Amino acid sequence: MTIVQAPPSAAAPARPARALRDTGIDFIRALCVVGVVLLHAIMVGVTVVDGTPVFENASDGTWWIAPVSWLLQVMPLFFIIGGFSGLIAYRRARGRGEDATGFVAGRMHRLLRPALFTIGMVGASLAVLAMIGVPADLIAIAGFRYGQPLWFLGVFLLCQALLPLLAAAHGRAPLLTIGAFAAASVGVDVLRAVSGIDGLGFLNLGFVWITLQQLGFFFADGRIDALSRRTRITAAAGAFALLLCTFAMGVYSPDLVANINPPTAAMLLVGVIHIALVSLHRDRIERFSGRPYAAAFTAFVTRRTMTIYLWHMPVLLAMAGLSAVVAITTGLALPELGSVEWWLGRPLWLVLALGVSALVAVAFTRFETTPAPRAAGSARRMTLAAFVGLSAVLMLLVFGTSVATAAIAVALILGSLRLARRSDAPGRPAVPPLPVLAG
């Protein structure tokens, strides 16, 4: 991965973007963040068996996760909006004289700085749990559950680091570029099915999400909105029909959560549906987003997008652990997962998950919004910085989060941020970076 400066032709949009700031898109992004928290919250399950807490995925083997995933699986739209906003932000940065390395440095800072503190505090918390005598297997489960959502951090970091290159390719051959990535995504699925090697599917951590980011570039150019209403409706209906066919034939699971672990090309069809619906209702969404409560909600989430994402899983794990402690201490039985009593308690659980995640995000917002220092002048140095940052996240995904791996990850992220900073002016602030998913 080499970060290079895009040619001038890629810095100018093929079509005028609708606006430098789109409140409707910001509002949709904020809803996506809420959707992620709700989806993960409803999947967290805890029971007490013989006085010992048992943490489980409440959705495993259930019928209800498929329809719930159709409502709350927002990752395709997340990456489309990331491409939309990222391309606009990059063009704005180029317009004010910033080069590709400076843009990537700002994005890396906005992604990795809050992760540095989250991972460090989770590692410290695991150490405290070990010291007070919490069983090692429970600590390992907590570390594993915490690390699962970090795939998004790693993949989004990769997409943002490659954005100047991908923007240049989009400027030169937009259809060929997105077509190549989409074909690669399908090819990985075919190879996985033929070989029976499920691990091959993880190649689509790159191909699927980059394809959706490229689709966001078309949205930023105005090309999606320029299509006739009939064309957009036909595209959404066709993608939906094809998706149903793949479910019926057993090609893909109707559980859209299963289709991101590892990612499959089904996410591309979901992305087409998402972007068509957003485009068809864009004016209505934009009008609604201007209302005071909607605008306040959007502003709150936009400043804290990555902080909320990074902290919501530790919050959910803490809530589950506290529930188990209260049950063991008081002798009260926790409801069986999936029971009527369990479902009756879900609304309160979800509201608490959102509320506590918001409070924690407020406390740690400063780590996300601190202006980035000046970027390293060397593309080679910036490439190394991105590689080191990705290595930290990949290590946690592969080996799990423990006291040791968290400490190593913190050291790697510190090294990545240092590499991304100019050594001759380490403390000199640059123009504050735009929000990580904002245009």
| Domain containing residue 77 | 8-419
**How would you class 75 by CB atoms within 10 Å of its CB: exposed for 0-12, middle for 13-18, buried for 19 or more?**
buried
What's the whole-number mean pLDDT along residues 125-149? 92
Residues 104-127 have a mean pLDDT of 93
Domain membership of residue 436 (yes or no) is no
Amino acid at 395: M
Residue 159, in any domain of the structure = yes
pLDDT tens across 45-90, in order? 998 887 788 888 999 989 999 999 999 999 999 999 999 999 999 9
- The rounded distance, in Å, linking the Cα atoms of 74 and 270 is 9
Cα–Cα nearest to 11, from 167, 160, 176: 167
Half-sphere exposure of 357 (CA within 13 A, CB side): 30
Burial 286-304 (b: 16+ CB within 10 A, else e): beebeeeebeebbeebbbb
Q: What pLDDT score was predicted for residue 300?
A: 95
The mean pLDDT value for 329-343 works out to: 91
Most confident range (mean pLDDT) of 185-189, 258-262, 332-336 is 185-189
Distance CA 162, CA 358 (A): 31
- The yes-or-no verdict on residue 390 having pLDDT over 90 is yes
Residue 362 exposed, middle or buried by CB count within 10 Å (0-12, 13-18, 19+): middle
Are 400 and 119 in contact by the 8 Å Cβ rule? The answer is: no
* 262 is a domain residue: yes
User: Could you tell me which residues come within 8 angstroms of residue 19 by beta carbon, excluding any fewer than 6 positions away?
Assistant: none
Tell me what percent of the residues of the chain surpass a pLDDT of 70: 90
Q: Are 147 and 196 in contact (CB under 8 A)?
A: no
340-344, 388-392, 427-431: least confident range: 427-431
- What is residue 431's predicted lDDT score, i.e. its pLDDT? 37
Q: Distance between alpha carbon 363 and the CA centroid of its chain, in Å?
A: 21
431 domain residue, yes or no? no
This prediction has a pTM of 0.89
User: Of the given ranges (271-275, 378-382, 420-424), which has the lowest mean pLDDT?
Assistant: 420-424
- Considering the domain boundaries, does residue 229 fall inside one? yes
CA-angle at 303, arms to 302 and 304, nearest 5°: 90
Q: How far is CA 268 from CA 123, 155, 271, in A?
A: 35, 16, 5
Quick one: pLDDT band at residue 19, thresholds 50, 70, 90? Answer: very low
Whether residue 373 lies inside any domain: the answer is yes
Q: For the chain, what is the domain count?
A: 1
pLDDT of residue 231: 97
Query: What mean pLDDT is reported for the chain?
Result: 89
**356 occurs within a structural domain:** yes
Residues in the chain, overall count: 439
pLDDT for 279-293, tens place per residue?
999 999 999 999 999
Residues 91 and 8: their CA atoms lie apart, in Å, by: 10
Would 29 be classed as within a structural domain? yes
Mean pLDDT of 403-414: 96
Tell me the per-residue pLDDT of 170-218, one tens digit each, with 9 for 90 and over.
999 999 999 999 999 999 999 999 999 999 999 999 999 999 999 999 9
